[in-house]
């Protein structure tokens, strides 16, 4: 049970805020829907789980993607890797908007 990596097909407990999130079919998830933090587990391709870093990634910026979806740019707190991720449908909207407002130049 020490496997607390964020996976798209299992429930997981966020190591940043402690929220346990159940897997829901149809939602691709690689970050916590509450605090939006992620883990550095992918190396090159989203989902490859090839990274050895496995450190916390903070939601650095949020921008608007196509079809009014949100794109969260995660930055690894350990190695500095930047990975953009699509926000999930049930992500914490207040936090998404707060991040957009913190970086007004990125909002389109
Ligand atoms: Zn969290
Ligand atoms: Zn890293």
Looking at the DSSP bridge assignments, the partners of residue 62 are 72
Whole-angstrom Cα distance, residue 101 to residue 3?
A: 35
Q: Beta-strand (E) ranges in 7-97? A: 12-13, 20-21, 38-39, 56-64, 70-76, 82-86
> What is the structure's pLDDT at 74?
95
Looking at the CA of 83, which ligand is closest? 2
> What is the structure's pLDDT at 69?
84
pTM: 0.81
Looking at the CA of 41, which ligand is closest? 2
* Distinct helix (H) and strand (E) counts, the chain: 1, 6
24 Cα distance to chain centroid: 16
Per-residue pLDDT of the chain (108 residues; tens, 9 = 90+): 445 555 556 788 899 999 998 877 777 778 999 999 999 988 877 778 899 999 999 999 998 888 778 999 999 999 999 999 989 888 999 999 999 888 766 544
Q: Please tell me the distance between residue 18's alpha carbon and the centre of ligand 1 in angstroms.
A: 6
């Amino acid at each position: 049970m020490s496997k607390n990596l964020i996976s798209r097909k299992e429930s997981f407990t966020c190591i940043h805020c402690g929220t346990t999130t159940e897997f829901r079919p149809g939602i691709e998830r690689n970050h916590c829907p509450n605090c939006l933090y992620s883990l550095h587990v992918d190396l090159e391709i989203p989902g490859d789980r090839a990274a050895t870093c496995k450190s916390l990634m903070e939601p650095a910026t949020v921008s608007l993607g196509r079809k009014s979806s949100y794109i969260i740019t995660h930055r690894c707190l350990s190695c500095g890797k930047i990975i953009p991720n699509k926000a999930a449908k049930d992500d914490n909207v207040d936090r998404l908007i707060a991040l957009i407002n913190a970086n007004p130049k990125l909002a389109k």
